[in-house]
Amino acid sequence: MKLKSCLTTVLLAFISLQCATPEPDFTREVITLKKGWKFNKGQHPNATKIAFDDSKWEDVTVPHDWAIYGPFDKEIDKQIVAITQNGENIATEKTGRTGALPYIGEGWYRNEFTIENFDDNKKVLLLFEGAMSEPEVFLNGEKVGEWKYGYSYFYFDVSAYINGKAKNTLAVKLTNVGKSSRWYPGAGLYRNVSVIVKNKESFEQWSTFITTPSITLDKAEVNIKTKASEKNLKLVTEIYDVDGNKVTSNETKAHTNNAFEQHIEVSKPQLWSPESPYLYTAILKLYHGNVLKDEITQRFGIRSIDYSPDTGFSLNGKTRKFKGVCLHHDLGPIGTAVNTSALRRQLKILKDMGCDAIRSAHNMPSLEQLELCDEMGFMFLAESFDEWKKPKVENGYNRFFDAYAEKDIVNLVRATRNHPSIVMWSSGNEVPDQWGSEGVKRAKWLQDIFHREDPTRPVTVGMDQVKAVMESGFGAVMDVPGLNYRVHLYEEAYQHFPQGFLLGSETASTVSSRGIYKFPVEIASMKTYPDFQSSSYDLEYCSWSNLPDDDFVLQDDKPWVIGEFVWTGFDYLGEPTPYDEAWPSRSSYFGINDLAGLPKDRYYLYRSRWNTEDETLHILPHWNWEGREGETTPVFVYTSYNSAELFLNGKSLGIQKKSKKTKQNRYRLMWMDVEYEPGTLKVVALDEKGNPVAEKEVKTAGKPYKLVLESDVKTIKANGEDLAFVTVSVVDKNGIPCPTATNQLNFKVEGNGTFRAACNGDATSLEPFHLPTMQLFSGKLVVLVQSTEEAGDITLIVTGDHLEKGEVLIKSIL
């Protein structure tokens, strides 16, 4: 039933007369402070003062990452350490561990805002969705609060500091110390900052909790809890479907200890799932007497989750296994500054791969990412910490654990628990507290906090010390025992733990560089090469980890394994294993996709089993091996088909069938004895009867001739934030991609857009992301074009010496 005007003409005339004058009730105003920021690195004790002169400081917009502009420098955060969780005993020099980018030091941000309708009956909150790190917040010259963990969401009630209707001056000090991270943490106000203005009679921040305790085909019970202080309040909740139709509403005056609770029935509920991410909207209205005092809009999903020894993990009553990836929070070339279009692009790429779940390794996800996962259909494992009380890095979270762990979890859960995508919490990753009885108590304490704040979802920890947690009882405490790697211990852990199921909370850690292949082709651990790249035959892993196929076997053969989260969906800044000690490696090799978001071969291996809707037929390596003529150059095919025939220059190299001979034979088609000769490599997929059903070719390319551009989107929003990701490739005279090209390219953006960054996915590149020039890596790179606030055409022009230029048009719309 939509809102209707159903009054008689007389009544209407009367009402319009009455309504013409009074102001609508003020409910709340959220001012997101994106523009007008001044930023400076360094120590500025006087910057807290209202009168401080910041005119010479840099103008920035927030979200902002001060360190991503580089330059990369080997000396930054050089750590002489033994990484014990990687099995090391001797300290060695680790360069690039945190990305070799200048994140260390103090940084200051200042901004001004006014609250035009401020009066004594208003409450003002200052909300930070993440500030890296150790934020200290000053308003109008006074300190209003501080936090420690750079990944937490937090807010302060600043009503007492507001300067009436006049200008308010906000100053934020951030401090990053060295040896505080195992990866690139970013630096600065990298997530949104907002001012929330509301009435005294209003909903308490993050107090609303919507759950769906019982669901049948006919109806779902929606339970709504929320809190508001003051007396004589009434809560009216309206629930809308995805088309904006009101499906039901409820009114309650029962208000005890500031709490409201409603049970609302939704008939014939549409359930939320990755395949059908249906979202309802609840509008909660708070009345004082008959005056509307506050209103919040909260999306939610109707879905049930269950974890049991009999059926493993089930969503809406159907058992399924997580086809998940772990993601770090950085977004490659734009660093950690959160950006919705960059997150959406990642999810689109993962969706096409058939991935249905994300783990936020190893900290709180951005709210933008959760919104997108709700909308696009991804289940979410929301993690909190990489360290508890025992350090992994000298200046890590261990410094704050005692004082902040509970507060950080409370904020994580309260801020995000209405997201249907979240199906599990994680209280930690490979914490050294896995050793010893204190750790068992800590695990229980943290899990109990999660349960207190959200009784509907289980808690896991990514455990790597499997023997220790079996002995100590640590593993038995967890709702969901999660194993990081250690495939050889799955069976034993399953037998030992009481839960009756096991999660691959972190799997694979296979390493590869996009488009780089090494010979001979062999399975190897911690393999290194003089060019600091890893082979894209996907047979190289870390001493503590394994190959994708090892996980596939467990996922396929053990009903009690409830899924996996691959390390990682995308490459990230820092942790350049197996080149932690090799400069200039400065970003990871673990990604299924590279740092630019371009798929590596492994993408197709996962796609061939995870994407059950579309066919996958992918050949590797590329076929440009000048100098390898006559040498053995194995060919792999990652495919959803069971068998295929390979042809080189028209000559059959035989049929391969997936078999259980080895783990690799089970999931990959491999022709190990192919002798290289230039030309055309063609694979023909066969159905069960041996009939050809699909084919793919790879051809030897000639010299780079022309640049080809392809944007991930045709239109972007003219909001000054939206991004288009343009993949630039070089092709020869016949349009064949040149897979080894390394040309230096230049970028120019014309019209209503700007050049934001570029990235080629090479983990050893020291070219800054934000300058409009970069070398191709394995024939490709990606350019990020950003909208301005004016709608219109944007043209990206890419040039390179002796190459035909490439152009692409993107429309920016309001």
**Residue 111 touches ligand GAL, criterion: CB under 6 A:** no
CA distance 64 to 809: 27
Taking CB under 6 A as the rule, does residue 429 contact ligand GAL?
yes
Nearer to ligand GAL, 509 or 640 (CB): 509
With beta carbons less than 8 A apart as the criterion, state whether 434 and 464 touch: yes
In angstroms, what is the minimal distance from the CB of 493 to ligand GAL?
A: 16
| Minimum separation from the CB atom of position 83 to ligand GAL (A) | 8
Query: How many Å from the N-terminal Cα to the C-terminal Cα in the chain?
Result: 30
Contact 122, 159 (CB under 8 A): yes
Q: How far is the CB of 182 from ligand GAL (least distance, A)?
A: 6
Question: Contacts with ligand GAL: how many residues (CB under 6 A)?
Answer: 15
Residue 547 near ligand GAL by CB under 6 A? no
392-426 burial, b at 16+ Cβ within 10 Å, e below that, comes to bbeebbbbbbeebbebbbbbbbbbbbbbbbbbbbb
Residue with Cβ nearer ligand GAL (145 or 432): 432
Q: Position of tokens 């995308």?
A: 570
Q: Does 133 contact ligand GAL by CB under 6 A?
A: no
Contacts to ligand GAL from residues 311-370, by CB under 6 A: 361-362
Residue 375, H or E segment = helix 367-376
Does 541 sit near ligand GAL (CB under 6 A)?
no
Return the number of the residue (428 or 779) whose C-beta is nearest ligand GAL: 428
Given the complex with ligand GAL, which of 394 and 790 has the nearer CB atom?
Answer: 394
Task: Report the residue from 430, 454, 712, 762 that binds ligand GAL according to the rule CB under 6 A.
Answer: 430
How far apart, in whole angstroms, are the C-alpha atoms of residue 152 and residue 381? 16
Q: Which is nearer to ligand GAL, 215 or 466 (CB)?
A: 466
- Residue 545 lies near ligand GAL (rule: CB under 6 A): yes
Angle at 506 between CA 535 and CA 411, to 5 degrees: 130
Shortest distance, position 328 Cβ to ligand GAL, whole Å: 8
Cβ count within 10 A of residue 662: 12
Main-chain phi, psi angles of 152, to 5 degrees: -85, 150
Q: How far is the CB of 183 from ligand GAL (least distance, A)?
A: 7
Q: Which residue has the tokens 């772990």?
A: 326
Nearest distance in Å: CB 508, ligand GAL: 9
158 vs 137: CA distance, rounded Å = 10
Instruction: Work out the widest C-alpha separation in the chain, in whole angstroms.
Output: 94
* Residue 92: both structure tokens together: 């060695």
Q: How far is CA 197 from CA 205, 286, 493, 543, 654, in A?
A: 11, 15, 51, 53, 71
Applying CB under 6 A, among 40, 411, 426, 484 the residue interacting with ligand GAL is: 484
Give the pair of three-digit tokens for residue 515.
């488009």
Query: What is the DSSP code (8-state) at residue 118?
Result: -
Q: How far is the CB of 575 from ligand GAL (least distance, A)?
A: 6
**Shortest Cβ distance from residue 333 to ligand GAL (Å)?**
21
| Pairwise CA distance, residues 335 & 341, whole Å | 14
Cis before 185 (ω within 30): no
How is residue 667 written in tokens?
Answer: 């999931």
- For the window 77-96, what string marks contact with ligand GAL as x by the rule CB under 6 A? --------x-----------
Cβ proximity to ligand GAL, 226 vs 429, nearer residue: 429
Between 359 and 518, CB nearer to ligand GAL: 359
Q: Binding residue for ligand GAL (CB under 6 A) from 315, 542, 757, 783?
A: 542
State yes or no: residue 464 binds ligand GAL (CB under 6 A).
yes
What are the tokens at 434? 């896995």
Distance CA 161, CA 170 (A): 11
**How far apart are CB 531 and ligand GAL at their closest, in Å?**
21
Shortest distance in whole angstroms from residue 767 CB to ligand GAL: 25
* By CB under 6 A, residue 509 contacts ligand GAL: yes
Give φ, ψ of 642 to 5 degrees: -85, -25
Which is nearer to ligand GAL, 408 or 430 (by Cβ)?
A: 430
Q: Does 505 bind ligand GAL (CB under 6 A)?
A: no
Residue 346 or 509: the one with the smaller Cβ distance to ligand GAL is 509
Q: Residues 574 to 603: which contact ligand GAL by CB under 6 A?
A: 575, 577
Structure tokens given for 385: 């910490």
Buried b / exposed e across 500-539, counting CB within 10 Å, b at 16+?
A: ebbbbbbbbbbbbbbbbbbeebeeeebbbeeebbbbbbbb
Return the number of the residue (535 or 700) whose C-beta is nearest ligand GAL: 535
Supply φ then ψ for residue 557, to 5 degrees: -100, -15
Closest CA to 411 of 162, 211, 125: 125
CA distance 47 to 315: 51
Let me know the angle formed at the C-alpha of 209 by 207 and 210, rounded to the nearest 5 degrees: 155
Q: Which residues pair with 342 in a beta bridge?
A: none
Pick the closest to residue 809 from 744, 769, 749 (CA basis).
749
Burial track 284-297 (b if 16+ CB lie within 10 A, e otherwise): bbbbbeeebbbbbe
Cα distance between residue 211 and residue 454, in whole Å: 10
At its nearest, how many Å lie between ligand GAL and the CB of residue 572? Answer: 10
The question of whether 675 is a catalytic residue gets the answer no
Q: Which of 430, 540, 575, 767 is catalytic?
A: 430
- Cβ of residue 85: shortest distance to ligand GAL, in angstroms? 6
AA identity, residue 752: N
Which of 506, 645, 721, 767 is flagged as catalytic? 506
- Partners of 646 in beta bridges: 683
Min dist. Cβ of residue 547 to ligand GAL (A):
13
Contact with ligand GAL (CB under 6 A): which of 155, 385, 532, 567?
567
Query: Any catalytic annotation for residue 204?
Result: no
| Short-list 124, 168, 112, CA closest to 142 | 168
Q: Is the Cβ–Cβ distance between 440 and 477 less than 8 Å?
A: yes
From 368, 453, 506, 580, residue interacting with ligand GAL (rule: CB under 6 A)? 506
Q: Which is nearer to ligand GAL, 517 or 567 (CB)?
A: 567
Contact 283, 238 (CB under 8 A): yes
- Residue 47 or residue 508: which is nearer to ligand GAL going by CB? 508
| Burial of 592 (C-beta count, 10 Å sphere; 0-12/13-18/19+) | buried
Q: CA nearest 222: which of 247, 202, 243?
A: 247
* Cβ-based nearer residue to ligand GAL, 433 or 506: 506
For ligand GAL, which residue has the nearest CB? Answer: 509
**Active centre residues (catalytic):** 430, 506
Contacting residues toward ligand GAL, per CB under 6 A: 85, 361-362, 429-430, 462, 464, 484, 506, 509, 542, 545, 567, 575, 577
